[in-house]
Structure 1
Amino acid sequence: MKHFCLVKIKKGVGIILGIKQQIEQDEWLEALERTRERLEEDPEYRKRIICLKNKTQEEIKKKIAGKKVAVSWSGGKDSIVLKHMCQQIGINRAFWVRSNLEYPEVLNWADKHGPDNLEVVNTGQDLKWLAKNRHMLFPQHGKIASIWYKIVQNTGQKWYFEENEIDMLLVGRRIKDGNDPGKDGMNVNKHGVVYYSPIYNWSHEDVMAYVEHFNIKLPPLYKWANGFQVGTGPWAAREHTGSIQKGWEEVYSINPSIVEKAARHITSAAKFLENSK
């Protein structure tokens, strides 16, 4: 069955937010509140989200026909929305690539609200590793941030893809996040890992409206400082801090025990605690 989204949206409910990295936390929260108001006030907006879901699900079915697939779940809003849609059309396999440097709050949230039968791929980075690779702490430019993504996400996805003889990984990459998901959301990397990003052309508002309309729970990180900008991943890979000490300050405000444990291995963490007394 084909789905056609011929709904008229009231003036003023179009795309507002731009590229993820250029949006401040307050702007994200304001946009989320506006999205909630639109869903309550405009039935056509609600219909549009349902239509978008149905249309995307039909596209997924076509792309994955006859293939062994899995959803790469990160606990972020995009992968949560993707998994929610995939679950409804019978795609149950999901895995989470993470390290030993995750926020305890996110781990606890994932235990309670993560997908059923979620498989975990742990790439092993921990405090001892971080102490030997201190240049990786709180990336201040894109090069280091991209290395984090490579050694955690890309490495874990490659391992899972090959180990389980998967034909295609479904991911929540979107153009509005500054990603290049490939033509029509399809991409094959240099290692032969096949990626499909079904929501590649969704706006930020589309994702937020989906979350709100279907009452999906999000992890606590979106309420933290720069939560929407930073997103998921190891706390040590936290971007947009401006300095190492500011990075420790932000992490301490989230969970002091992370910094206290890190201080046993990393001088800058110990210095932060000393200066905070």
Structure 2
Amino acid sequence: MKNNSVVLITGCSTGIGRELCKVFFDKGNTVVATARNADSLKNLAASLKLSIDVTKEASIHAAINEIISRFHKIDILVNNAGYSMRGALEEIDIKSARDMFDVNVFGIIRMVQAVVPEMRKQKSGKIINIGSISGKFAQPINGAYCASKFAVEALSDALRLELHSSHIQVTVIEPGPMKTCFFKTLDNNSNDLTLNPNSYYSHFYESDAQNRKKQNLTESKEAAEIINDIIVKSKLNARYKVAVPFSYNMITHFPDFLKEYIIKKR
């Protein structure tokens, strides 16, 4: 990939999205940084900063029209917007789970539907979907989020087949745990459930909280550098694990009975 590619990234207010903007911009690309609240992008170096709410088609199309008007193309789309919630499936609020899917899954579809026609005109493009290692194996009290990231895997595979003849490449990035605001947002979305001592699943919630305290978290800047090195490859693989702990990586290769045995023990 040559410098001065036009790179559109969603979810740039914090974390990997924000760091990816910095990396691409520093390497001489035209970076369009977006977030639902554009004020969160004030101190971010980017070629253009726009508000995009991936749950609203009007918001997406207004932004795409402005990008095309200014730069006449979109070379790379990074679908990074997403968040998590915790809770046993018996207890989670269905509306909250639906809202999460609207961002994590349908948000990607809306962005693809808006951007692919522009990429097809130029007969090239790359779509980078930020998934999660949680899209490779399910964990208790994390089922809804895992399901949304399993969906990202399927969407990416289908897109890659559908867009092959248009010379548009698609890959999914599967990050491990990061040092971002991800877990703070998770707690804000889930504390009503996970801090309830009367919940039948309180032992799961307590164990999860303890395990998260022990996790080795990768700096988002380090992960962004790795992801950048992946994106600039001339030929993308179907998927890439990024900053995934060895134990998590191994679990993804185990047969189901062994995978579940280990997770139950944990």
Q: TM-score, structure 2 length as denominator?
A: 0.31
Of structures 1 and 2, the one scoring higher in RCO (CA 8 A, sep 6+) is 1
More strand per residue: 2
Q: TM-score, structure 1 length as denominator?
A: 0.30
Larger Rg: 1
